[in-house]
Structure 1
Amino acid sequence: MTNLKKIMTGLLLTLALVSTTVMYAEEAPSPTPVTTVNPDVSPEILNLMVRHMSSDELFVEADGWLELLKESAKKVYDTKILVREKNVVIDAMKALDNNQTAAEEREAIQQKITVAKEEKSVILEEQTKLRAQRKTMVARLDTVLENINEKIGTDADGKELEKVLPYRHYIDTVSGISLEVTDAHSAWTTVSAWVMSDEGGIYWLINIAKFLAIIFMAMFISKLLSRGARKALEHTPSNSQLLNDFIANIIHKVVMLIGVLVALAALDVNVAPIMAMVGAAGFVVAFALQGTLSNFASGLMIMLYRPYDIGDVVDVAGIIGTVQSMTLVSTSIVTADNRLMVVPNNSIWGNIITNVTHSDTRRVDMTFGIGYDDNIEQAQKVMEQILSEHPLVLKDPAPTIKVNELADSSVNFICRPWVKTADYWTVFWEVTRTVKERFDEEGISIPYPQSDLHIIQQNAQIEKPENEHNKTTYTKKSHDTLDIKEMNVSDDQSQ
C-alpha cells in the first residue's frame, strides 16, 4: 500500500506540473510588433528602428506591417465594390429614363443619376486616398523585408529565401492600379487622381527628375574628374599616354557606374539584388571570357611596362604600323597603306615587340656595290660627299662608309648615316637615288649578277653503236663549264 501511495503521489505531482506548464504556455503573450504603433513613420526612421533587431524580431514586425497592409488593401477593394454598385444603380436609372415618357419623371431620374455620380466621385476620391495609404504600408513592409534579407541572406542566385517570398507575393498581388476600362468616368478619375497624388504621378515625376538630375550630375563630375586626372598625369613623364588614357577612362566609368546606381535607387529600384546577381554571375562570365581576360592582363602589362605608346611605329604580331589607340583588350594599329588592324593584346605581349620610333634618332642601313674594276677610293669619296651635303643626315654620330663584302659580282659598301627618326625614309630614298646618279656621272658601275659559260670541246672517237639509237651524255661541271664527255652517232651520220 505504501508503494502504491508513492506512485499515485508522483503521478499527481507530474500531472500538476504538466498542467501548470501548459497553462503558462497558453497564457504567455505572443510577441507583438513595436514599429506599427505609428503607421506614418518614414522609411528612414523605420530602417533605424529595426536595424538592431534579429531575424525573428524582424519577422514579427513584418507580420505587423502585413496586417496593416491587408487592412489598407481591404478598404481599397471595398471602395471598388461600392463604385461598381453605384455603376449598377446609374445604369438602371439610365435604362428607366429611356423608357419614361413623362418629363417630370425623367427630370427626377436625372437628378437621381446626378446624385449617384456625385456619390461615386466621392468614393473614387476616397479610393485614391486609400491607395496612397496602401502604398505607404507597402513601402514600410518593404523596408522591413530588406532588413530581413540582410540578416538571413539570399540564395546563390541572389534571390530571396522562401521565408520572404510570401510577403513579396502578397505585395505584388495587392499593389498597383487596376482600371475599369468599361467605366470611362472611373478610369479617368482614377488616372487623374493618381497623377495629381503625392504617392502617384507627382511622386514618380519627382523621382524621374531626380534620376535625370543624378545622371547629368554624374556625367559632369565624371568628365571633370577624368579631365583633371588626365592633366595631372601629363605632368608625370614616367607614365605613358596609354596609361594616362586608361586611368582617365576608368575614373570616368567608375563615376558613371556609381551615378547610375544612385539614380536607380532614386527610382525606388532595389539595386542590392542586381549587385548580388552580378557577383554570382562573375564566375560564369570569367570562365566564358578566358581569352578576353588574358587580353585584359596583357593590356595591363603593356600599360605598366610601356613598350610602346600612342603614335609610335611598332612591329608586333607580324604587323608594322602606327599605334592609334589601345584598350585593355586590343591595340589598334594603322598600317602604312592606311589599314586599321585591331590586334589582341595577348598576341602582342606574348611575342617580340619592336618599337621603331622609340628613340629620337635612327641609323639608316644601306648597301651599295661597285664593279671589281672600279676605284674603291673614288666610290667611297662620292658616298661621303653625298652624305655630308645632305641636310637631314646628322653629323653626330658620324656616318659609316666601309667596304663590307667581296661578293660574286660586286664589291659591296655599307653606308650607314644617322638621322632623326621622322626623316628615316626620306634619307633612305634620296640617298639611294643620289648615289645612282653620282655613280653614273663618275663612271662607276653598279654591277648586277652575271655568269660566264665556257664550252670545252674534246676529240670524239666515232664508233658504231651497239644499238640503233643515238647516245649522247652531257656532264655539267662546276664554274659554269659544259663538258662533252662522250659522243656516239649512228651509221648514217658517220657516212
Structure 2
Amino acid sequence: MDDLTPRVMALPEDNPLRVELEARIRGDLADVGRAVFERLNELDDRIDQLGADIEQLSGAEHIESEAYLESLSQLRYRYYEALIAFSNRRQSLGLPQLEVLKKLPQELFQYAEIQVGKVEFVGAAIRELQNRVKIRPDQTELVVALEELRIQRSRHIADLRIAIELMEQLNLDSTPYRTVALQQGNMVSLSLFDSGVFMGMVKDGWQRMRLSLVERAPDGVFRFLLFLVTLILFFWFARVVRRLTRKALDRSNLKVSNLFKDIMVSVSGGVVLILGLLMALSQMGISLGPMLAGLGVAGFIVGFALQDTLSNFASGAMILIYRPFDVDDFIEVSGATGFVKKMTLVSTTIATIDNQILVVPNNKIWGDVIKNVTAQRVRRVDLTFGISYSDDIPRTEAVLADVVSQHDKVLRSPEPVIKVHELGDSSVNFIVRPWVRTEDYWDVYWDLIRAVKLRFDDEGISIPFPQRDVHFYPAKSAAEAGQ
C-alpha cells in the first residue's frame, strides 16, 4: 500500500487507471481505518479492566500485572502512531482527517505530563538513595532498591519518548518534555537535542542556580568568611610553630646541622598549613574523605611519573641524616665547587667563588664523591719551592723556616714540615707544609709565596726556571775523516 499509493497519485488525474485504482485504495484505507479503530477499542477495554483488577492483586501477581498494563499502554500509543501514518495517507488522497486524531494532542500532553512527573519523582528518589549508599555502602538492600529505581526511570523515559515522537508527528511543541528526557536520561540523544531544548536547559539551570543562591547565600557567605578566618589563624600559627621549632633546635643539646634545622622548621610550618587548609575546607562543607582518597591515588600516579624527584627526596633525607656538609661549607661535588648556601629535600644551592649560583639535585650529590674542604677546623697549606743546584741547602732550609715562623697565622702545633722533597730536572725542590685555621688558609697561602720570593731575593737564593744543556759537535770534513 505504501509503495502503490504514491505511484497512483503520480498518474494524470484524467487517467482511467488512476480513477479505478484510487477508488480501490480509498476502500482499502477505509477497511484499515476500521481495523485500527476496533483494535484501539479492544485495547482500551483491556486496559480499563486490568486497571480495575490490579488493585485486588498483591505480591508477584501485582508486579506482573503492572508490567503487563505498561506494555498495553505502550502498544496503545504505537497504534496511535500507526493511526497518524494512516491519517496522513488519507489526507494525501484528499480524504478528511480522522475524528479520533482531533482528541489525540490533548491526550498526548496529559500522558507526557504524567511521565514527566514519574521521571522527576523517581529521579529525586534515586538521588536520595545515592546519598544513603555513600553513607552506608554495605547495605545491599539500598543498592538493590537503587538499581530498581534506575530501571524504573529508564522505563518512564522510554514512555516519555514515545509521547515525544507522536507529538513531533503531529507538529506539536515537545521542547519541555525533550528537556526533561535529556536532563534525566543517562545519555545524550541527538534526536532530542536542538536549540530550543538547549535554551530550555540553560534557563532551567539558571533558575535552579538562582534559587540555590537566594536560599544558601547567607550560609555561603558565613562559611566563606569562616574559611578565610581559619586560613589566617593557621598562617599565624604556622609562623609561631616555625619560631618555636627554631628556638627548640638552637637550645637543644643534639648536634644537628643547620640544614637539618632549616628543613625541620620548614616542615613544621608546612604541616600546620596543610592541617589549616583541610580544616578550612571542612568549614566550607567539602567532604575530606573522598578528597584524601583521590589525593592518595593521584599521589601514586604522580610518584610513579616523578621517580627522579622522589630520588632527590631520598637523597636529601640521607644528606640530612649523615651530614656530609652544612651551610657555608666549601665543597666539591658533581663538578660544582663553592659554598653551600641553602638546601631543600630536592636540591642544594651552591655559590661559587666568583659568586655564581649553582642548583644541584640531591641525587647527583649523594651518588657522587663529596669533598668537604672546610669540614675540619685546621688545614695544611702545601707549598713547593725550587732552588738552584748551586745554592746552599741548609741555608735555604733555615730561610724557609724563618719565613714560616714569622707569620702570625701559622699554627705552632702541629709543627710545620720543611723538607727537601725531590731533585728535579732544573731545581732542588723543597716542600713547605704549615698548618693553619681553615678560615686563614688562603691568606697564609698567598702571604708565604710572596714572603719567600722576597726573602730569596734578599739572600741571593735563585729560583731556577726550566733549562736544558745542548752540546754541539761540529761535523768533520772528508780529509779529516780519511786521516
CA deviations on 1:317-368 (whole Å, 9 max, x unpaired) are: 1211000111111111000000001111111111111111111111111111
Q: Check 1:251–1:149 CA distance in 2 against 1; reply closer, same or farther (3 A cut).
A: farther
2:296 — aligned with what? 279
Identify which of 425, 448, 468 aligns with 1:431. Answer: 448
Aligned residue type for 2:319: I
TM-score normalised to structure 1 length = 0.57
Alignment of 1:226-375 (within 5 A): 226-234=242-250, 235-375=252-392
In structure 2, the CA distance between the partners of 1:23 and 1:144, relative to structure 1 (3 Å rule), is: closer
Alignment partner, residue 445 of structure 1: 462
Deviation at 1:23, TM superposition (A): 6.2
Distance (Å, rounded) in 1 between the aligned partners of 2:265 and 2:137: 37
**Change beyond 3 A, Cα 1:304–1:425:** same
Deviations 1:259-318 (A, max 9, x none): 112211211223333222222223321221111111111111111100001111101112
Q: Secondary structure at the match of 2:297?
A: helix
User: In 1, Cα distance between the equivalents of 2:301 and 2:286?
Assistant: 25
- 1:222 paired residue number: 238
Query: Is the aligned partner of 1:382 residue 2:399?
Result: yes
CA separation of 1:354 and 1:164: change in aligned 2, threshold 3 A: farther
Residue identity in the other structure for 1:250 = V
Distance 1:216 1:440 in 2: 73
Tell me, in whole angstroms, the C-alpha distance in 1 between the residues paired with 2:469 and 2:139. Answer: 97
Aligned AA (2:452): V
2:168: which partner in 1? none
SS of structure 2 residue aligned to 1:455: coil
Partner secondary structure for residue 200 of structure 1:
helix
SS of the equivalent of 2:268 reads helix
SS of residue paired to 1:401? strand
Contact 1:145 1:164 in 2 (8 A): no
8 A contact 1:329–1:344 mirrored in 2:
yes
Pairwise CA distance, 1:146 = 3.6
Q: Secondary structure at the match of 1:214?
A: helix
How far apart, in 2, do the equivalents of 1:377 and 1:287 lie? 69
Shift of 1:149: 5.3
Moved over 3 A (4+): 22-27, 140-146, 148-152, 162-166, 178-182
SS in 2 for 1:387: helix
Task: For 1:346 and 1:165, locate their aligned partners in 2 and report how far apart those are by CA, in whole Å.
Answer: 57
For residues 227 and 164 of structure 1, the distance between their equivalents in structure 2, rounded to whole angstroms, comes to 60
- Aligned CA distance change for structure 1 residues 300 and 253 (closer, same or farther; 3 Å): same
* Normalised TM-score (structure 2): 0.58
Residues 400-415 of structure 1 mapped to structure 2, 5 A cutoff: 400-415=417-432
- Aligned equivalents of 2:149, 2:59: Cα separation in 1: 33
Separation in 2 of the partners of 1:286 and 1:342?
22
Residue deviations 1:348-400, cap 9 Å, x none?
11111111111111111111111111111221222211121111111111111
Task: Give the Å deviation of 1:227.
Answer: 2.1
What corresponds to 1:133 in structure 2? none
Inter-CA distance 429–443: structure 2 relative to 1 (3 Å threshold) = same
Aligned to 2:41: none
Which deviates more from structure 2 when the two are superposed, residues 331-340 or residues 252-261?
Answer: 252-261
1:211 aligned partner: 227
| Matched-pair contact (CA < 8 Å) for 1:372–1:410 | yes
Note the residue ranges of structure 2 that are not aligned, 5 or more in a row.
1-56, 63-116, 141-145, 151-179, 185-198
C-alpha separation between the residues in 1 aligned to 2:149 and 2:412? 83
Cα 1:146–1:257 shift into 2, 3 Å: farther
What's the % identity of the aligned pairs? 42
Q: Considering fraction of residues, name the structure with more helix.
A: 2
The alpha-carbon deviation at position 462 of structure 1 amounts to: 7.7
Task: Measure the CA separation in 1 of the matches of 2:290 and 2:135.
Answer: 13
Structure 1 window deviating more from structure 2 (376-385 vs 331-340): it is 376-385
Is 1:147 the counterpart of 2:140? The answer is no
Q: Secondary structure at the match of 2:478?
A: coil
Shift of 1:461: 2.8
Query: Cα distance, 1:413 vs. partner?
Result: 0.9
Matched AA of 1:299: G
Task: Point out the more displaced range, 274-283 or 395-404.
Answer: 274-283
Alpha-carbon spacing, 1:416–1:297, altered in 2? closer, same or farther (3 Å):
same
Q: What is the rounded CA distance, in whole Å, between the counterparts of 1:209 and 1:146 in structure 2?
A: 29
Q: 2:476 aligns with which of 459, 466, 483?
A: 459
Code of the residue aligned with 1:231 in structure 2: it is K
Tell me how many residue pairs correspond in the alignment: 319
Q: Aligned partner of 1:205: which letter?
A: V
* Closer, same or farther: CA 149–311 of 1 in aligned 2, 3 Å: farther
Separation in structure 2 between the aligned mates of residue 238 and residue 283 of structure 1, nearest angstrom: 35
State the distance in 1 between where 2:360 and 2:149 align.
49
| SS at structure 1 position matched to 2:436 | strand
One-letter amino acid of the counterpart of residue 230, structure 2: I
